[in-house]
Amino acid sequence: MAFAAPQNPSRVHRIPQSKYIDAVRWLSPVSALDRFAAVAYYDTDTNSPSIEIICVDPNPQASSPILTPQSSWTPPSRISSLKTAHSTHQPILAAATFSGSIHILVSDLINGGTVESEATVSELGFHSGPVSAVDLREGGTECVSVGEDGRVNLVSFVGDSSKLSYRRIFDANGLVGYTAVKWASPSEFATGGYGFGLQWWDQRRPGGPVSQFKGNWCQGKTSGIVHSIDIHPSRKHTCLAGGSSGTVFAWDLRAQQQPIVLSGAGTGEAPISLLSESEVWEVQYDCYTRSSNIGDISSTRILPIMICSEDGILAVIEQGEEPLELLAEPCAINSFDIDQQNPSDVICSLEWESIAILTRNRTTNDFGFSIERPSFFWPVYLELLIVQYDYETLQESDNWTSVVTRK
C-alpha cells in the first residue's frame, strides 16, 4: 500500500479518558481564545452515559492539550448519534439515544460552558428501538431522525415548549432500515441504509423518497451498510457516503444509478487504491485539503474528503489521487470532527477510551497569507482559490501496528 505522504507531519495528541467515547464534536467558538467540544461518554463501570462540554486548552507549555470538563448532562441511555449546529449565537446539540429518544441541548459557552436540555422527544411511538442517526439543520430549528425501524421523523423546535413536536415523514414499517441521514437544503435531505442504498427526500413531495439510489449495486459481492453521509453546501447534487468494507462512494443525483467509488469495494473495474477494508464510520468533506489538480474543478469532481475507520485509519481521500493517511491507530477511530473555524484541527474519538486531537500544519499559500476563514466563507472560497499544497513523507514508524491488526 502506498500512500501520499504529508510534507509537514501533523501533530497528534492522544488524551486518555477513563470512559468510552461514543461521539465527539467541536462546538463553534464564541471567542478566539476558548475552544470547546462536546463529547458523548459512556461509563461502563457505572453503566451511565453522559454528554460533556469540554474546554480544549492547547497548552503550549505542556506536552499535550488539556481537556477540562465544563459541564455534564445525563441522557436516559447511550448516545447513538450526536450532531451540532453552527452559525447560531449558542451552539445547539442534537443527541439521539439507543432508547429511541432525541434531545436538543443548548450550551452556553460564555457563562462557563454549561449544557442543559432544551427539549426532548421520547414518546412511545417516536421510534421503536434505537434512533440510528440524527441531523440538525443549519440554523438549528429542525432536525431529522431515522432508525432501523424504518421511521423518518422531522422534529421542529421553534418556540419554548419543552416537549418537541414531531412529524412522521415516512414509515417503512421495518421493511427498510435507515442508518444515516444528512440535510441537503432546508427542505431536502438524504438517508442511507442497508445494501449501500441511499434515498433522497423532499419535504415538498411527501409520501416517500423522491429518488432512490438502488442498493446492492455491487451485486452482493461486498454489500454493506452506509454509516455516514455528507453533502457539501456548494454541491447539493452530490451525496457522499461511507460504509462497510472501506467503501466510500458518491451519488451524483444527475447521473442517477452510477456510483462514483472513491475507495473500497470496487465495481470490477480498475482496482481503486484500498485504504481500509473495514467499516468507514464517518465521512466529512475536508475543507482544509485543497484539490491538487488545478485544471479540473468541474462540478462533477468530488471535493477532498476525510474518513475514519474501524481499523484505525484517519485519512483524506481525493478523487483520482493517492489517499493521504493522517493517523494509523492500533484501535478503531469511532468518530471525528473537523473544526469548521480552524479546519486544520481534527478531533477524533478512539476506541481505546481516548480522544485524539490532530493539528495539521498551517502552511501559507502562494499569495502569502495564511488560510483562515470563517466557515460560511468556505464553499465559495474553495471554488475560487486554488492553492498548491505539498506534503512531506509520512513517518513510516507507527505503521506496523495497523499492519499487525490488519494482518
Q: Which residues in this chain contact another protein in the complex, by CB under 8 A?
A: 16, 18-20, 44-45, 62, 98, 128-130, 132, 148-150, 170-177, 179, 193-195, 197, 199, 207-209, 212, 214-216, 219-220, 223, 225, 244, 277-279, 310-311, 330-332, 334, 351-353, 400-401, 404-407
Q: CB 18 → another protein: shortest distance, Å?
A: 3
Which is closer to another protein, CB of 166 or CB of 170?
Answer: 170
Residue type, 92: I
Q: Which residues pair with 8 in a beta bridge?
A: none
Which is closer to another protein, CB of 322 or CB of 351?
Answer: 351
Where are the extended beta strands (E) located within 280-323? 280-285, 305-309, 313-317
Q: How far is the first Cα of the chain from the last one, in angstroms, to the nearest whole number?
A: 13
Q: CB 77 → another protein: shortest distance, Å?
A: 12
Q: Quick one: the chain helix, strand, coil %, rounded to 5?
A: 5, 45, 50
Q: CB 304 → another protein: shortest distance, Å?
A: 26
Which is closer to another protein, CB of 70 or CB of 309?
Answer: 309
Distance CA 312, CA 277 (A): 11
Q: CB 279 → another protein: shortest distance, Å?
A: 5
Which is closer to another protein, CB of 177 or CB of 343?
Answer: 177
Give one DSSP letter per residue of 365-400, joined into a string.
Answer: -TTSSB----GGGHHHHHHH--------PPP-TTHH
Which is closer to another protein, CB of 192 or CB of 323?
Answer: 192
Q: Beta-carbon neighbour count of residue 295 at 10 Å? A: 7
Distance CA 354, CA 15 (A): 5
From the list 226, 317, 334, the residue with the least C-alpha distance to 326 is: 317
Q: CB 128 → another protein: shortest distance, Å?
A: 7
Q: CB 112 → another protein: shortest distance, Å?
A: 24
Q: CB 220 → another protein: shortest distance, Å?
A: 5
C-alpha cell at 169: 415523514
Which is closer to another protein, CB of 36 or CB of 98?
Answer: 98
Which is closer to another protein, CB of 175 or CB of 384?
Answer: 175
Distance CA 111, CA 330 (A): 38
Residue with cell 454528554: 51
C-alpha cell at 320: 483520482
Which is closer to another protein, CB of 6 or CB of 209?
Answer: 209
Q: CB 321 → another protein: shortest distance, Å?
A: 27
Instruction: Classify the phi-psi angles of 112: left when phi > 0, otherwise alpha if psi is within -120 to 50, otherwise beta.
Output: left
Which is closer to another protein, CB of 44 or CB of 162?
Answer: 44
Residue with cell 464510520: 281
Q: CB 314 → another protein: shortest distance, Å?
A: 17
Distance CA 95, CA 82 (A): 5
Judge contact between 145 and 93, C-beta under 8 A.
no
From the list 363, 48, 386, the residue with the least C-alpha distance to 372 is: 363
